[in-house]
Amino acid sequence: MDFKTILVDLAADPARDARLDAALTLASLFTARVVGLTATGTLLDPFRSAGEETARYQQMRADMLRNLKQADAAALDAAVARRGRGIEISHVVVEQEAGWALTSRGVSSDLILPAPPSLAQDTPALMATSAEYVLLNSGRPILVIPPDVSLVPGGTVVVAWDGRREAARAMRDALPLLALASRVILQVVLSGAGPNEHGAAEAVRWLADHGVSASLRIDEAASPADSLMRVTRNEAADLLVTGGYGHSRLGELVMGGTTRTLLRNVPVPLLMSH
């Protein structure tokens, strides 16, 4: 299945232009439509007893919403002028936090491009950034684009494989991009099990059945994140595909260490599925 509806976060972070350009590049390739989303954050109504301050607060909120919507619309228009002419574009404004907004709209999309977590963002273990929340709750793949990085369909793709559900889901979700790739590397990081126990050979065969030729690499590194980032650099990869892992603790979804490390540090576009 190709990507036909692409949802992109219009948050004003350093990666916004790269994220918009990637969304429009994919839309052009797959004849898709792009939905740009403005998340306003949680807006609280003033207390009814606030008196004269009520009207002032309401005006301030209206001004903030107008300015935010106009700024995000301008960023979307600028991206369209750069590389999106002829593509169906829409802009939605959702009065929710970014993670919730992208998730609620993302369930009816094929691919979601959230803002990448900031390296400086100190997120507690029991909390998730918007990208992490969307990954774990939307049921859709996410594509994270680092600042000043271009998505290059048709290049080299590294696919992380460990035989688990999340890796299988990511490989399936990435199939439209894998079909365009000039080279696909299936990277297995051993953690006590042999390559046959991961079903790596069967995964290569599955890709071949779908017209994708992949080479198999096996690494015995202790850290999956380090292994994946190393092969991505050494092979000059243009895209990394991997499962995104989380678990439940005290009723909250918590990101796995490898997933969180990759989201914050990977130097190339990253497609993740949960």
Q: Domain ranges in the chain?
A: 5-44+65-137, 152-273
More confident position, 57 or 131? 131
CATH architecture of 152-273: 3-Layer(aba) Sandwich (3.40)
Helix (H, G, I), strand (E, B) or coil at 267: coil
Average pLDDT over residues 99-121: 91
As assigned by CATH, the class of the 5-44+65-137 domain is alpha beta
Amino acid, res. 23: A
Distance CA 258, CA 262 (A): 6
Diameter over CA atoms, the chain: 71
What confidence tens digit (pLDDT) does each residue in 198-235 have? 899 999 999 999 999 999 999 887 789 999 999 999 99
pTM of the complete model beyond 0.75: yes
Q: Measuring CA to CA, which residue among 163, 235, 231, 171 is closest to residue 199? A: 163
Q: For residues 103-131, b (16+ Cβ closer than 10 Å) or e, as one string?
A: bebbeebbbbbbbbbeeeeeeeeeebbbb
> What is the secondary structure of 60-108 as a DSSP string?
HHHHHHHHHHHHHHHHHHHHHHHHTTTS-EEEEEESS-HHHHHHHHHTT
What confidence tens digit (pLDDT) does each residue in 185-207 have? 999 987 655 545 689 999 999 99
**Are domains 5-44+65-137 and 152-273 of this chain identical in fold?**
yes
pLDDT at residue 116 greater than cutoff 90: yes
Q: Give the pLDDT confidence score for residue 58 in this predicted structure.
A: 78
